[in-house]
Chains A and B, each alone.
Chain A
């Protein structure tokens, strides 16, 4: 095989892996949008917040330490040497559930039956609040997150693929980050689990019912508020998974909240109401931007990954606004 061909395959594989990471964030958006019609701008920040909290628990950081030290002249930083990964993840999940409950209590409860745009604005407010709150609680420095997921290139793959190249050509094997492979596996497990849950359990059926028709859901005895807490908790769980994967990859830093923006073109491609759509959309964007950068990028000066996804989304908006898998938009006039 020619080195060029192998390199193209490598680019595509890396694109798929990057796409999985986008899908993880997009998934959280879809869950909340389906169940409550809210486009949750805060989803990316939720991932950041979950990752910050996880690191905080892991390392035994004192929450609000900067604030406390500034106010009382003390010097607290850590209350212990931290705890094991499992405990930290469970505790973080509890924090995300508490967060979901608070959002319902403080924000959503007062905005029932409001226009979607008003709810959207509320989530923008929520995003800014959480970003500031996370900063205050855990500090603004970049943190290392390690929950024991292996990372780095796979030597096995490099060795194997080097042998595929033609004799004497300059090809040194495929580089794929093992962390990305793990992310893909976890994303698949997550999607399968969520799909089974929503199809075959009582609560899943209630979730679908609420997504379909609020009034009818009330009539059969489903409490909308309970469902919203569950949906936001699940979105919080997805945010935690996304936060762990992104955090392990590039460190827990505040620019993580910006990855939410990459989820937007993913959603426009896949459709706002489709879980498989979020996955396929992420993969298409991931592969698309890597291939574009590899093939067209050098001709126009590179750095196309920053804008390619948005241009693709714009094209979709023109020709297929409901996305690949979204519910068809039918306007009656």
Chain B
């Protein structure tokens, strides 16, 4: 067992979020927080609303009720690209990479929110634009080293196998140098070896860069090993919230996963 880890203040707070699409309730009165420096898992059966929560945090969905607080400030109606500028990066369940672009270019787009030169210098491609490009290129190369993807730097990512694409997507999120990293099923469809690699990367990111991480994952073994605290959702409601051990022994969680007859 890991030794007791210490965390900072709440980095992100979700307060009484309710979200519905037309008449369908996706989320009902969800509240939880993510502390600075922790690895937070969001779990639950299919259709529990895990991805909806992530989409609310990253600005793709806007809840009808409730608030999202990020680093002590209330945040309303931000668009996804504005959320990204605030320092929240994410990956997707079914990979959203720029398939026609090389690994290097994909990672460089991850740094776009940090690049400041205006169109004028970019067109001249001298002075500030060139310096900036080189500076960001160095950061990206460090991430490439870290994720051990040197050999595919110039390959268009559409040609890479699935596991590597997932890794490149993680790399692009890392390149953003964000405070909070949202990972939507980072290990879905991977084999055991790939899962171990990915787990190691997630732990290293958290450890070396101090990045706060929230992840959705189906593999319970992985969740219990990686995360500091776990939120359990079912039918759009929060079922339980606590350490992996506490959640594992919670009767309502066991019922939700194993199914129980309501009579």
Residues of B within 8 A of A202 (CB): 112, 115, 117, 122, 129, 132-133
Residues of A within 8 A of B96 (CB): 213, 215-216, 219
Instruction: Report A's interface with B, CB cutoff 8 A.
Output: 196-197, 200-206, 208-209, 212-213, 215-224, 327
Residues of B within 8 A of A223 (CB): 79, 81
From A208, A215, A219, A224, B105 is in contact (CB under 8 Å) with: A208
Q: With A200-B125, A208-B98, A213-B97 given, is the CB distance from A219 to B80 under 8 Å?
A: yes
Residue B131, interface by CB 8 Å: no
Residue B62, interface by CB 8 Å: no
Q: List B81-95 residues whose CB lies under 8 Å from chain A.
A: 81, 84-85, 89-90, 92
Please give me the 3 A-B residue pairs with the lowest Cβ-Cβ distance, nearest first: A221-B84, A216-B96, A221-B113
**In the complex, A208 Cα to B108 Cα: how many Å?**
12
Kindly name the residue among B90, B112, B132, B172 whose own CB sees the greatest number of chain A CB atoms within 10 A.
Answer: B112
Residues of B within 8 A of A203 (CB): 119, 122
Pair A220/B101 contact, Cβ less than 8 Å? no
17 A-B residue pairs with CB within 8 Å: A197-B122, A200-B125, A202-B129, A202-B133, A205-B112, A213-B97, A215-B92, A216-B92, A216-B97, A217-B98, A218-B80, A219-B58, A219-B92, A220-B109, A222-B81, A223-B79, A224-B81
Pair A201/B100 contact, Cβ less than 8 Å? no
Residues of A within 8 A of B97 (CB): 213, 216
Residues of A within 8 A of B176 (CB): 220-221
In the complex, how many residues of chain B place their beta carbon closer than 8 angstroms to a beta carbon of chain A? 33
Residue B44, interface by CB 8 Å: no
Residues of A within 8 A of B129 (CB): 201-202
**In the complex, A221 Cα to B108 Cα: how many Å?**
12
Kindly name the residue among A196, A217, A218, A327 whose own CB sees the greatest number of chain B CB atoms within 10 A.
Answer: A218
**In the complex, A151 Cα to B90 Cα: how many Å?**
56
Residues of A within 8 A of B110 (CB): 220
B22 to chain A, nearest CB (A): 16
Q: With A216-B96, A219-B96 given, is the CB distance from A205 to B109 under 8 Å?
A: yes
From B99, B112, B123, B133, A220 is in contact (CB under 8 Å) with: B112
**In the complex, A223 Cα to B60 Cα: how many Å?**
13
Pair A212/B101 contact, Cβ less than 8 Å? yes
Known contacts A209-B112, A220-B113; 10 further A-B pairs (Cβ under 8 A): A202-B117, A205-B101, A212-B99, A213-B98, A215-B96, A218-B81, A219-B58, A219-B89, A219-B92, A222-B109
Residues of A within 8 A of B100 (CB): 208, 212, 327
**In the complex, A198 Cα to B182 Cα: how many Å?**
29
Q: Which residue of B lies closest to A216 (CB)?
A: B96
A165 to chain B, nearest CB (A): 47
Residues of A within 8 A of B84 (CB): 218-221
Pair A197/B123 contact, Cβ less than 8 Å? yes
Q: Which residue of B lies closest to A199 (CB)?
A: B105
**In the complex, A218 Cα to B109 Cα: how many Å?**
11
Pair B90/A219 contact, Cβ less than 8 Å? yes
**In the complex, A332 Cα to B92 Cα: how many Å?**
22
Residues of A within 8 A of B98 (CB): 208-209, 212-213, 216-217
Kindly name the residue among B80, B90, B97, B110 whose own CB sees the greatest number of chain A CB atoms within 10 A.
Answer: B80
Residues of A within 8 A of B105 (CB): 205, 208
B60 to chain A, nearest CB (A): 8
A143 to chain B, nearest CB (A): 31
Pair A220/B172 contact, Cβ less than 8 Å? yes
Residues of B within 8 A of A212 (CB): 98-101
A224 to chain B, nearest CB (A): 7
A133 to chain B, nearest CB (A): 28
Pair A205/B108 contact, Cβ less than 8 Å? yes
Residues of B within 8 A of A201 (CB): 122-123, 125, 129
**In the complex, A194 Cα to B58 Cα: how many Å?**
33
Q: Which residue of B lies closest to A215 (CB)?
A: B96
Q: Which residue of A lies closest to B129 (CB)?
A: A201
A331 to chain B, nearest CB (A): 17
**In the complex, A204 Cα to B123 Cα: how many Å?**
10
Residues of A within 8 A of B119 (CB): 203
B67 to chain A, nearest CB (A): 22
**In the complex, A217 Cα to B119 Cα: how many Å?**
19
A108 to chain B, nearest CB (A): 15
Residues of B within 8 A of A219 (CB): 58, 80, 84, 89-90, 92, 96
A97 to chain B, nearest CB (A): 11
Q: With A221-B81, A221-B84 given, is the CB distance from A209 to B125 under 8 Å?
A: no
Residues of B within 8 A of A197 (CB): 122-123
Residues of A within 8 A of B125 (CB): 196, 200-201
Q: Which residue of B lies closest to A224 (CB)?
A: B81
Pair A209/B172 contact, Cβ less than 8 Å? no
Q: Which residue of A lies closest to B97 (CB)?
A: A216
